[in-house]
Amino acid sequence: MIIYSGKKINVRKDEVLLEDGRKVTREVIDHPGSAAIIPFITQDEIILLHQYRHPVKETLYEIPAGTLDKGETFFACAKRELEEETGYRAGALELLMVLYPSPGILNETMHLFKATNLVKTQTNYQLDESIKGNIHVKLSDAVEMIKKGTIRDAKTVCSVLWCSR
């Protein structure tokens, strides 16, 4: 049963029968899916956004990402979001992994991409975004930022650690 219908998400309440026969209620957020991109400006230097996130009331360092538009592929979403948020177009875009950001409450599928051979264009921030700018950091410095707790966004942690292995 849908209990909330919004611009990007729906929230529903499901009655679920567990394997042991118990009936429980689950609140589920329906999400169309998203793409996130770790952009490499050079072989060992990446771009991180500095972006305010209202749910946690903090400005975080994170890789560019966004929700799929209706009918859009994950690949097309990644290309669009990269350019909108960083002002760079990817010469090459490689799928790294597919993950579930928070499967206990959210059915979102997130595709993580690596962008290389970047070409400078211009940013086109959406009106509801609060991006304060971006920084270029060495991948090894991003790993240190994770260790120090400076980077805490899950998609960014996954992408940085995946690419640094």
Same domain, 15 and 76: no
Q: Dump pLDDT digits (tens) for 28-58.
A: 999 999 999 999 999 999 999 999 999 999 9
In the block, tokens 């305010």 appear at: 52
Clarify whether residues 38 and 12 are in a common domain.
Answer: no
115 and 44 assigned to the same domain: yes
Do 22 and 49 have their domain in common?
A: no
Report the C-alpha gap between 90 and 80 in whole angstroms. Answer: 10
Q: Do residue 66 and residue 1 come from a single domain?
A: no
The verdict on pTM exceeding 0.75 is yes
Task: Give the residue numbers spanning the domain of 61.
Answer: 32-164
Rounded to whole angstroms, how far apart are CA atoms 71 and 93?
20
In terms of domains, do 102 and 126 share one? yes
